[in-house]
Structure formats: structure tokens, C-alpha cells
Amino acid sequence: MKNFLKGAVCAAIVCSMFIPAFVSGGAAAADKIVDVYLIAGQSNAVGYGYDDLEENGFTDERLKNGYDNVLFYGRYESDKEVPSGLVEVKKGLGKNWTNGQSGSGAEIGVAAAVSDLADGGVSAVIKCAWGATFLAPDTGNAVSVSQGTWTPPSYIEKYSLDTNGGKIGAMYSRFLQTVRDGLNLLKSEGYTPVLKGMWWMQGEAECPDRKNAAAYEELLTCLISDVRADLCELTAQDSAKNLPFVLGKIYRNPEFSQFAYIDEVRQAQQNAADKLPNVFAVDCTGLPQQDGWHFYASAQLWLGRQFAETVLTSEGKFKVSVEGEGVSVTGSGIKRAGENVSVRVQAQRGYKLAGLSVRVGADGAEESVRTDENGYYSFVMPADNVFIKAETEALPMFRLISAEVSDAAGGSVFAGADAKNGWYEGESVSLALTVSEGYEFAGAAVNGKPIGPSDSDERAYYFTISEAADVKFYAEVRKVTVAPPPEPEPPEPPEQKEGCKSALGAETGFGLLFAAGAAAAVKKKR
């Protein structure tokens, strides 16, 4: 382990990815190998899952816009027309619901796993699936009547079954035709298809019936054998005789009633994986479902990755895997020995990364390691699987307990969704105080400690709360005091001007009159 760590390099993966000159219906570079992954089964193979990718941190733009080096062809259940030719893998290539939702299947996980392999190249997914279809020769429901069953030819022959007008085994025949058509399309674009593996996601239909559940292991064994033989003949590829089969072990949401024989079907799937060469089982237990059976798109992403990585690992390539609650990971997956690898492990919202350990090989010793300042752990890939374990701590959530204003008529507090829903240590939330006309802001406090507004505009004050605690917010407002208007000042007297009679003051005029009157009286007395 120490030698392995000494060989670590602090560099990001540089993938020399081959980008095909692919345009549907147009020319492609000739004689290019394309790795082909097959998907078949019932509704969880179709992909009924509602889109929950972005809300769970899966923001790769290729999920929306398409993986330009992973092509897709399918014939599967949909309320709307499925793509008629080759398209790029992206989300929404599953069931189209009447509510506007477009489901996604395991193809998005396959694309995510193989698109960034260091050796580049082109891959393709061919899907044939239909909801509620049986592997057992059971035509007791409307879907079996309209679409037929997956019952393999060797099982039909062994028990001399009446095919009910071709219904028994019709889905199996449709699958082979879909594969044939998809391979021919790839060839027409200049590619040389090479089968890599098959994902079988089915078994839910057999769970309610004891007879069907009891026969499931034999049915599955016949299916694997027949598919390998028919694909070997169809492709003239001897490798198809031992084509990797990866089985999704069915799971039903425990919030819904459980079907009587689900455990028997799951055990049959595990038995097939244990007994048959190059057959593997992926346990679906606990993956998020939108209802009683159907996996969300995020679960389909995970399942498709498990399928592709299991296939590649079976070829002698090596896997970097990361486990840990509440972490987001980039850079994991299938690698080649000697490849420079950089794995980024980051805590998701609500978690704190407490430590990281690495183990090389199933029996290797765990050793603590550190990431760089950007969260990357870098190393040279050994000739063995690498297991990275992330230790995390769940962070406490804090909430806004109350938001009060001293005078309810004087203002109101607005709390956004971030404050209402709660926040974790290190996060900030915002509150807004709107002050009523005739009032003014007089101060605020968080848990009794004064706090000033981080911003303000006319009659609105904004507060940024970074408390690692539940919060009580209090704002003080007061009525604006209106001062009485000032007393008017008396007018100033007119300005006096010397030598101008018209400008004589009242007192001067009265004096002149008095003097004239006195002189007249004296004259009269004489």
C-alpha cells in the first residue's frame, strides 16, 4: 500500500477521448470499433424513473444534451414515438408520461461510466423492453396478450408449450430483431460493433404467483443460454458465447404492500449469478423509487454504472470505487493500470468530510489519505481495484424559530425559502424587513445580539444570518415624530431714505402736523 501511495501524482485525469464525427443518418469515420451494451426486461429496463438528477447533484450537461461518444437505439414502450435511428444517449429515453415527465433508464449510467474512459472510443446502447412483461409463459394479463412474453425458445421446446398464437416468446423474438436492427444501423454508419454485455432488469411480473416464481431460476438459466447462442450466431462473434450477463435483483418500496413471492424471485436471480459463468447480480435494495416498483432517474444512473463497470471489470480492467454517505464523487470508475487518476470527493450539503481512507485490492489494508485544497486525491492506478472510503459527519440543521417586529403595524419580516427550510453550519440565510409608512427602523437583534442590515433600499432592510443555532429575529420600529411648523417671523419695516418726503416715517409726519397746529393757535391768541 505504501509503495502505491508513493507513486501518487498530483494531477487531474487527462482523457484522450475520441469524439466521433457522428451525425444521425450521415457519414462516420470508417472501421471504428463500437462497444455495444444491451438492455432488456420490463418497466425498470424501459426506464420509468422521474427526473431527480439535478436535485441530487448530478449536473453533467451531457445528461441533458447527450453524450457525443455514446449512441443509442431502442424499441421499447413509450406513449410517444421512440427515436427512429441512432441518437446520443441522454436522459428521457424511457417512458414518456402524460404528465410531461420523461423517464430515464440504465442507458444514462452506462454512458456516464464509459464516456470518459482513458482509451476513449465510441460505445452504444441497444434497448428492448416493455413494462409488465413476463419471462414465464403467462398470458394472463393484457400486456402479455398484446406484447407477448420473454419465454426463451429452449424452455418452450423443453416443455412443448403452446405459444398461444405466437404470444409466448414474442418479446424474445422482438429483442433479437431490435439487436439486429441496431447493429445494422451502426454498421451503416461505418462502425464495427462488438458486444460487451447485457443488463437484464425483470422479474417483478412473476412475484405474485407461486408457480411463476418457482420456475424463475430455470427460465432465467434458459434465457441466458439462448441469448448467448443466438447473439453468437447473429454477430458471428465467438465472445458472445460467454457474454457477461448482469442481473438487477428486483426491489419493492417497503412503503407499499409486498408481493408474496418476491424473495423467491430475488433468490433465483442470485442463484443464477452464483451458478452460471460470467453472470453477475446487482442488488437494487434501497434505491429510491417514485412508487412501489419504479426507480428514479438517479437510481437508474447508478444501476447503469454498475452494469457497465461490472462488464469492464470482468475484462481485466480495474475499478476505482468510492463509498460514503453524503458525498459527491468525480473521477471514479474503470481505469487501466499505470493511468494517472484524480478522484474528487466532496461532502454534500448537510455533511462534513471527516476523513478519507484507501484500500488496494479486496484484502488490502486501509490507509488514511488526504485530498488537496481542491478536494482531489491523486494517484497512479495499480493493477488492482482501488476502494476509497469517505468518513462523513452529518451536520445539524438550524431553523428560524420566530421573526417579530416591535409594532406589527410598523413593519413585517419576510423569510425566504432558505430560512424557512433551515440551514447548516457555514451557510447563510437572508431576512428582509419592510418598514411601514409613518415608521422608521430603530434596530434589530438575532438571539438578543444586535445586528445591522447588510443592505437596504427605500423602506426595506436586508439581514444576513450566519448563526450556527436556531434563530429568533427581532426588529424595532418606531413612529416617525412630526414636529409642529415654526412660528412665522414678523415682516421687517420699510427701509428709510433721507431727503425724500415720501419716505418720512409716521412719527416725523405727526410731529410736523403738531407743530403747525401749535403755531396757528398762538397767532389766533394774539
218 and 299 belong to one structural domain: yes
Question: 410 in a domain, yes or no?
Answer: yes
We report the CATH number of the domain holding residue 414 as 2.60.40
pLDDT of residue 16: 29
359 and 285 belong to one structural domain: no
176 and 253 belong to one structural domain: yes
pTM over 0.75: no
Residue-wise pLDDT tens digits, 64-117? 999 999 999 999 987 566 788 999 999 999 998 877 788 999 999 999 989 877
223 and 131 belong to one structural domain: yes
289 and 354 belong to one structural domain: no
The residue out of 315, 332, 360 marking a domain boundary is 315
6 and 100 belong to one structural domain: no
Highest mean pLDDT among 24-33, 263-272, 344-353: 263-272
Domain region containing 403: 397-479
Average pLDDT over residues 516-525: 46
382 and 418 belong to one structural domain: no
Question: 42 in a domain, yes or no?
Answer: yes
Question: 502 in a domain, yes or no?
Answer: no
The residue out of 335, 368, 395 marking a domain boundary is 395
Question: 520 in a domain, yes or no?
Answer: no
Q: Could you give the C-alpha distances from 412 to 60, 201, 405, 441, 464, in angstroms and in order?
A: 41, 55, 7, 11, 16
Residue keyed to cell 406513449 = 79
Residue-wise pLDDT tens digits, 312-368? 888 888 889 899 999 988 888 888 888 899 999 999 999 999 999 999 988 899 999
Encoded amino acid at 378, one letter: S
151 and 10 belong to one structural domain: no
Please compute, for residue 113, the number of CA atoms within 13 A of its CA located in the half-sphere on the CB side. Answer: 30
C-alpha dihedral, 113 to 116 to 117 to 122, nearest 10°: 90
- 189's CB contacts (< 8 A; 6+ apart) are 22, 26, 27, 28, 86
- 353's CB contacts (< 8 A; 6+ apart) are 327, 345, 346, 347, 390, 391, 392
Alpha-helical regions (H) of 371-432:
417-421
352 and 250 belong to one structural domain: no
138 and 247 belong to one structural domain: yes
Highest mean pLDDT among 30-34, 41-45, 480-484: 41-45
We report the CATH number of the domain holding residue 263 as 3.40.50.1110
Question: 507 in a domain, yes or no?
Answer: no
The residue out of 359, 378, 395 marking a domain boundary is 395
Q: Pull the grid cell for residue 385.
A: 481495484
394, 349 Cβ separation under 8 angstroms: no
Give the total number of structural domains in the chain: 3
293: left (phi over 0), alpha (psi -120 to 50) or beta: alpha
Report CA 194 to chain centroid distance, whole Å.
31
357 and 376 belong to one structural domain: yes
DSSP annotation string for 247-306: EEE----TTSPPPTTHHHHHHHHHHHHHHSTTEEEEE-TT--BSSSSPBPHHHHHHHHHH
Question: Do strands 400-405 and 87-89 pair parallel, antiparallel, or not at all (unpaired)?
Answer: unpaired
What percent of the chain shows pLDDT beyond 90?
70
pLDDT of residue 118: 55
DSSP secondary structure letter of residue 156: H
385 and 413 belong to one structural domain: no
